[in-house]
Structure 1
Amino acid sequence: DSVPITEEAPTRPTSPYGNTKLAADLMIGDQARAHGLRAVSLRYFNAAGAVGKAGERHHPETHLIPNLLEVAAGRAEAIRVFGSDYPTPDGTCVRDYIHVDDLASAHLLALEATAPTAGTGWHRIYNLGNGNGFSVREVIESARRVTASPIPVLEAARRPGDPAVLVASSQRIREELGWLPARPGIDEMIADAWEFARSGSAS
């Protein structure tokens, strides 16, 4: 598969969660065309960061950045890295992270694009990502810089089904809706998430 990933890339869900997201896209498209509606689907890549009291809260936590911050805060002993032999520059998986503030601005543009007008219905799908990937090791190093914590690492085997690289092409939403990520830096995303975690809002 080509990288960065466009909206036209083949959809091959490998989990019930992925199947339901694809089914929702198909149903939205059918309804829009059948009833003259305007609809937008936003496909997030890896949401990160925080704004005020809005940040990540998962129990149990499965995402890389919050787990790194748990280690930095002394609530976990080490971060587990699943696979260090991928065909990437440092051997770890590469992912596209996008700040939640940039996601919010994309939602506002999507709402404006779907304002009621006369005419035939349509359904537009947009990828939301920075278009730049960060490896697991790069994210770990960023978290170490931001938190001034050593963050010990435990190497583990690959997880089945984890692709080496997942990076979005957001060219379509940039060209059609004028969206641009204003906060693309991984250090800033982690710094905002770290502030959220230390504030107690994440508990």
Structure 2
Amino acid sequence: MFGFPERMPVGKTSAQTPANFCGASELLFEGILCWCERLYGFTVVVLGCFDPAEAAEKLGADHCCEIPFIPNAFRVALEQKGAVAICGIDYPTPDSACIRDYTRVLGTLLRPILLFLRPQKVPGTTFRGRGNNFPCRR
């Protein structure tokens, strides 16, 4: 949804300029929800999956390392594996690795419930990340 941002890291106030159909359709649907809020008095809360480093539309995912990053990091810490492979080291970041903001599982599970119970407290868009963005190499 953020396309090719002018500044890193991308934040929730960054300009939304989609670079592909997926991002454009998400932005369009959020716009429709905002109009429903205005016209019909709905309370709209968008749970954004904040991942500005997803694969390019025509290229798809890089499957060189199928097992997710965090389990691999634990295997290295437990000395069950020698090193962690980081896919995607050509990003315009200080160390060329993609930037991630990992979420806490409990927060991800509770947020929709809390928003349902008290939607007036959290209008607009809320992101599921913790706000601690850092490159995968770090």
TM-score by length of structure 2 reads: 0.61
- 1:110 counterpart = 2:77: no
* Rg larger in structure: 1
Distance in 1 (CA, whole Å) between partners of 2:66 and 2:114 is 27
More helix by share: 1
SS of the counterpart of 2:36? helix
Q: 1:61 to 1:112 in 2, by over 3 A?
A: farther
Distance in 2 (CA, whole Å) between partners of 1:61 and 1:87 is 19
Q: Which residue of 1 aligns with 2:43?
A: 38
Q: C-alpha displacement at 1:134, in angstroms?
A: 2.8
Q: 1:5 to 1:98 in 2, by over 3 A?
A: same
Q: Which residue of 1 aligns with 2:132?
A: 132
Q: Which residue of 2 aligns with 1:97?
A: 102
Q: Which residue of 1 aligns with 2:13?
A: 8
Q: C-alpha displacement at 1:13, in angstroms?
A: 0.8
Q: Which residue of 1 aligns with 2:23?
A: 18
Unaligned runs of 5+ in 2: 1-5, 52-60
Q: Residue by residue, what CA displacement relative to the aligned partner does 1:77-134 show, whole Å, maximum 9, x if unpaired?
A: x84532257441x34222211123211222122112337xxxxxxx511223211123
Distance in 2 (CA, whole Å) between partners of 1:10 and 1:36 is 26
SS of the counterpart of 2:114? helix
Unaligned runs of 5+ in 1: 47-59, 116-122, 139-203
Q: Which residue of 1 aligns with 2:55?
A: none
How many residue pairs were aligned?
112
More strand by share: 1
